[in-house]
Amino acid sequence: MLGGGGSVQLAKVFGIRIGASPSWFIVLFIMIWALSGFFGDVLDASDTTAYVVAVGAALVFFLSLVLHELGHALVARRNGIGISGIDLWFFGGIAKMTRDTATPGEEFRVAAAGPAVTLLVVALCLGLGALLSDSGHILDAARFQDTSNEIAPTLLGWLAFVNGALFVFNMIPAFPLDGGRIARAAAWKVTGDRTSATRISGRLGQVFSYVLIGGGLFLAFSSDPAGGLYLAVLGWFLGQAARGAVAASEFSERIEGVTAEDLMEHEPVAVPGTASALAAQEEFFLRYRVPWFPVVDAAGRLLGRLREERVDGAVAGGQPALAVAEMLEPAVEGDCVARDEPLEHLLGSEPLRALGALMVIDHDGRLVGLVTLDRVRRALAAGAAGPLA
């Protein structure tokens, strides 16, 4: 789902950073407060016990959201898409990919992975709850039909219910929900046109956002002000994302056919891997005043990136003769692109924003160019005025 903004790191799982925006902490406290009352009604227990269960329920719910996003992230990584992190925020979570999907199959696999994990969570909760409940209370708890003094089955029943509801909501074929991305994959497969597929799913997302806003306002003025307002705001955010997708699809038509080779610097400056730290400092960093350079071997094959602070540290630390090859950072997923990488794919590149440039390599791994953020911005400005190709 949606997400954004800066975040505080909570953990690291499979090398993936898990973070939370400030808005998530607000939702966490509100959720604990609301669930305290709920579990106070459905559990035959003290207020203190209900509060402790509410805290646990909120935490395991957000854990299930992280698992959902990990499903997206791990499948994306398996398909060669880098993951820069997972963030929790006001309306759920987001797995931040270094690039968008390149084929309908990739789109479907990545989009479907999250809901699949959510379904697995529902099944595990129901199964474990049934094992722990002597009276078969788990289904009653999931439907909120009875009170009980069985804490674990009640908690697992609640978790199964909310994840089941999340699955149903998320499978609605409206962009940017997972169901909308699955719909985009299907339309992409049928039409062979990613742009028109994005436009179709984006339009569906806009329609759904209006329904959600209308339903939220009705609830807000009739029976549930807080819940209705939440739905209305969620609908507004979904609508914004859907409108952005439609606008992006229209813009994509203008920049269609433009590739990394069209934008790149064809004679990029690169540091030889055999150069010393002192030579790199004097001949490259002091001369060009840029924060990093590509590093290549004698055949021009890319070895990685060399940052200025590594060179300065080696020289200041009494190692001016240290070889550049021993100081470089290997290029990771997203740092490099092929000559024929579409401009549209570059727009969502996290490394491009973070590093200011991407290295362009050929099929043999040789460095052939450099695409800078400035060149991409100029191409976008030209594309806003009319087709580029």
- 32 lies in a domain? yes
pLDDT of residue 235: 87
In this prediction, residue 107 carries a pLDDT of 94
Pick the range with the lowest mean pLDDT from 57-71, 268-282, 312-326, 331-345. 331-345
User: Is residue 165 included in any domain, yes or no?
Assistant: yes
pLDDT of residue 323: 94
In this structure, are 193 and 271 located in the same domain?
no
Both 241 and 188 in one domain: the answer is yes
Residue 117 resides in a domain: yes
129 shares its domain with 230: yes
Domain shared by 313 and 278, yes or no:
yes
Q: What are the C-alpha distances in Å from 255 to residues 103, 104, 194, 219, 339?
A: 19, 20, 13, 43, 16
pLDDT at position 65 over 90: yes
H helical segments located in 320-367: 343-347, 350-355
Count of the separate structural domains present in the chain: 2
The side-by-side arrangement of strands in the sheet containing 16-20 is 8-13, 16-20, 83-89, 92-97
Give the tens place of pLDDT for each residue, 5-30: 467 888 889 889 999 888 888 888 88
**Interval 234-268: pLDDT, tens:** 889 888 888 887 877 777 777 777 889 998 999 99
Is there a domain that residue 365 lies in? yes
Q: When comparing pLDDT for 328 and 129, which is higher?
A: 328
Task: Look up the domain containing 326 and give its range.
Answer: 260-385
In this predicted structure, what is the pLDDT of residue 1? Answer: 42
- Asked if residue 337 lies in contact with residue 357, where contact means CB atoms within 8 angstroms, the answer is no
Does residue 3 lie in a domain region? no
Task: For residue 150, name the pLDDT band (cuts at 50, 70, 90).
Answer: confident
Mean pLDDT of 90-111: 87
Amino acid at 61: F
One DSSP character per residue, 72-132 reads: HHHHHHHTT--EEEEEEETTEEEEEESS---SHHHHHHHHHHHHHHHHHHHHHHHHHHHHH
Q: Which of 223, 254, 285 is the last residue of a domain?
A: 254
Same domain, 213 and 318: no
Give the C-alpha separation, 169 to 389, whole Å.
40
Answer yes or no: is pLDDT of 152 > 90: no
* Whether residue 296 is found in the same domain as residue 379: yes
Residues 213 and 151 in one domain: yes
Flag whether pLDDT at 163 surpasses 90.
yes
Asked whether residue 264 is assigned to any structural domain, the reply reads yes
| Whole-number pLDDT of residue 3 | 40
Query: CA-CA distance, 367 to 354, in Å (whole number)?
Result: 20
- Domain termination site, one of 254, 272, 305: 254
| Pair (35, 159) in one structural domain | yes
Q: Which of 254, 274, 299 is the last residue of a domain?
A: 254
Determine the pLDDT at residue 62.
92
**How high does pLDDT run on average in the chain?**
86
Distance, in Å, from the CA atom of 325 to the CA atom of 322, rounded to the nearest integer, reads 9
Same domain, 27 and 97: yes
Percentage of the chain beyond pLDDT 90 is 44
What contacts 348, CB < 8 A, 6 or more positions away? 97, 99, 100
Q: What is the DSSP letter of 283?
A: I
- For the full predicted model, state whether its pTM sits above 0.75: no
Same domain, 27 and 62: yes
Q: What CA–CA distances, in Å, run from 205 to 44, 72, 172, 246, 247?
A: 42, 20, 9, 10, 13
- Residue 237: what pLDDT? 86
Regarding whether 89 and 206 lie in a shared domain, the answer is yes
The model's confidence at residue 4, banded by pLDDT at 50, 70 and 90, is very low
What CATH number is given to the structural domain containing 358? Answer: 3.10.580.10
Q: How many angstroms separate the Cα of 102 from the Cα of each of 167, 300, 342?
A: 25, 28, 10
Sheet holding 367-372, edge to edge: 336-338, 357-361, 367-372
Please indicate, yes or no, whether residues 123 and 204 belong to a single structural domain of this protein: yes
The most confident of the ranges 120-124, 201-205, 245-249 is 120-124
Domain-located, residue 2:
no
The answer to whether residue 119 is domain-embedded is: yes
Q: Report yes or no: 362 and 339 within 8 Å, Cβ to Cβ.
A: yes
